[in-house]
Chain A
Amino acid sequence: MNIIKIQTSNKYTKKLISVFFIITAMQLGGCANLGVQPWERDLLAKDEMALNADAIDIGLDEHIYFSKEGTSGGRSFAGGGCGCN
């Protein structure tokens, strides 16, 4: 009885895994539909659209928050770095 149960649950797990893979594959396929053609990058190519625009400001802010709050990192490596009080 137990063996049947395990086999059934294994079946379900396998089904779940394949469903998960199908969804992931569809998502990745979806990524192919997202995005732009190279000649549509006029706005994305602007300096202010870069993810690290204001890199100097971000670096200075992260140093402040690193030394004043309990959490750091996320955007890039959290690292160690200073004995700031």
Chain B
Amino acid sequence: MQLSKSKKITALLATATCTLLNAGAQAQETKSENDWQFDTAILYYGETDRVSLLEGVISATKDFGDQRVLNTKLVIDTLTGASATGAVSQPYAQTFSRPSGDGQYTTSPNELPLDDTFKDTRVQLSANWTQPIYKDTRVNLGGNISREYDYLSVGTSVSAESDFYNKNTTALFGLSYQFDSIDPVGGRPIGLSTMVVNNGQFGAGDAGDAGDAGEDAFEAAFDQTRITDTDDKSTVDALFGLTQVINRRMLVQLNYSYSTSSGYLNDPYKLLSLVNTNGETQSVLHENRPDSRAKHSVFAQTKYAFDNAVADVSYRFATDDWEITSHTIDSKLRYNLSESDYIQPHFRYYQQSEADFYRPYLDNTDALPIFASADYRLGEMTAITVGLKYGHKMNNGHEWGVRAEYYQQDPKNAGFENIGVLASQDLYPSVKAFILQFSYSF
């Protein structure tokens, strides 16, 4: 009798708690149903002596109730500065043609060749709609378009997620398709063709002069190495995800994703030096990558709630048929200083092995390989990020944050010999960047 009474009380208490929680949730919904939530940010990314980027984001989210949510996002960024071409530095000055074929740039002795003509503005629009389709099952539909001077990207994605076991387990399956169209400045260079540089061998005369035969001959030779129409690439991604609540303080997520790209996967602005047995550059070639790539990745994330802090730790393992294997560890600790203020230290470590066709340079005594790239981003490297964010929630509910980070990439020699004069050159210089971001939500 006593037992059944206590059972009844427990049941009543549980019902009351649920009712209260539901009432709270409904009140929240009523408030948010009429309001758009805006998240905005502006980010500066600057590398020492290289690229700098300014990027702005406006994200608007509206909750229509019953788990129907619309998110739209606008991103605008502008990129300026110099980017490593892939050509090696030499103990003497080197002259290169600009990607457009219009003009030249010269690199000082012992200086890494950087092309300083990069200047681009990108505008990206994306939208995502979440709709419940069945009890505890939702569908997300997304679309995005991104446009820059020489690049257009259009994509769509669909995913479905279902909750099980009292919403303690969530399974997700998604597919996305991305179509990119590339129209490089000066046309697409033919893979492994030799860069045509006007060193006076075409005869005298600049374009526009009365006797511009030299310039005309250069342009004709330059055009021989270029294909002028646009090219494209297609990417299909599949994503399987599982999220599990472990206990009141902890949850974990496990994702497997498969991504396959085909089409034009070259970077049209990247070069390779062809050197003799003494390491001296004989000519400069345009890179050539395979026209397909298949990637697998496993991503695991866990979040843990302390009384005054939240820890967020993730690990990603990725491997692909270009033989790039990478490990990424990312961790954040949000520490609440008060009800309205927090600080969040961030640490990230990244390590990758080189692509099987990566070469820091080509030796002119060897036969030319079919594929080759000296892009350091496809070489062996490690990278670290350390950062700190401070966030503050104001009395009106608006929130602002400021984030400062330092990012350093350390490319490594993956066992290639530095022949002749290359022994005295720094072929794997570090890239150091500062990141500063201000965000505001209302």
Contact = CB atoms under 8 A, between A and B. Distances in A.
Given A74-B318, A77-B239, A80-B180, A60 B41 contact: yes
A56 interface: yes
B249 A74 contact: no
Contact of B41 (A39, A57, A76): A57
Contacts of A41: 248
A3 interface: no
Contact of A77 (B146, B169, B174): B174
Interface string B58-81: 010000000000000101010100
Contacts of A57: 41, 389, 403, 437, 439
A31 B244 contact: yes
B27 interface: no
B165 A85 contact: no
Contacts of A46: 305, 310
Interface string B266-307: 010100000000000000000000000001011101010100
Interface in B155-201: 155, 157, 164-169, 174, 176, 178-180, 182
Contacts of B312: 53
Given A57-B437, A70-B324, A79-B178, A85 B118 contact: yes
B305 A49 contact: yes
B18 A71 contact: no
A78 to B, nearest CB: 5
A43 interface: yes
Given A49-B305, A83-B148, A36 B118 contact: no
Given A34-B246, A71-B295, A73-B259, A82 B122 contact: yes
A48 B389 CA distance: 14
Contact of B166 (A38, A69, A77): A38
B53 to A, nearest CB: 8
Contacts of A74: 255, 257, 297-299, 316, 318, 328
Interface in B377-404: 377-378, 381, 383, 389, 403
B364 interface: no
B301 A78 contact: no
A82 B153 contact: yes
Contact of B165 (A31, A43, A55, A69): A31
B83 interface: yes
B141 interface: no
Given A48-B334, A85-B51, A64 B45 contact: yes
A69 to B, nearest CB: 6
Contacts of A35: 165-166, 168-169, 244-247
A68 B66 CA distance: 40
Interface of B: 14, 17-18, 21, 39-41, 43, 45, 51, 53, 55, 57, 59, 73, 75, 77, 79, 83, 118, 120, 122, 124, 144, 146, 148, 150-151, 153, 155, 157, 164-169, 174, 176, 178-180, 182, 233, 235, 237, 239, 243-249, 251, 253, 255, 257, 259, 261, 267, 269, 295, 297-299, 301, 303, 305, 310, 312, 314, 316, 318, 320, 322, 324, 326, 328, 332, 334, 342, 350, 352, 355, 377-378, 381, 383, 389, 403, 407, 409, 431, 435, 437, 439
27 contacts: A31-B165, A32-B165, A35-B169, A38-B21, A39-B21, A46-B305, A49-B303, A49-B305, A55-B39, A60-B55, A68-B383, A69-B409, A70-B322, A70-B326, A71-B326, A71-B352, A77-B237, A77-B259, A79-B235, A79-B237, A80-B153, A80-B155, A80-B178, A80-B179, A81-B124, A81-B178, A82-B122
Given A36-B168, A56-B39, 18 more contacts: A31-B244, A32-B165, A34-B244, A34-B247, A44-B305, A48-B342, A57-B403, A59-B57, A63-B77, A69-B383, A71-B324, A74-B297, A75-B316, A77-B157, A79-B237, A80-B180, A81-B155, A81-B180
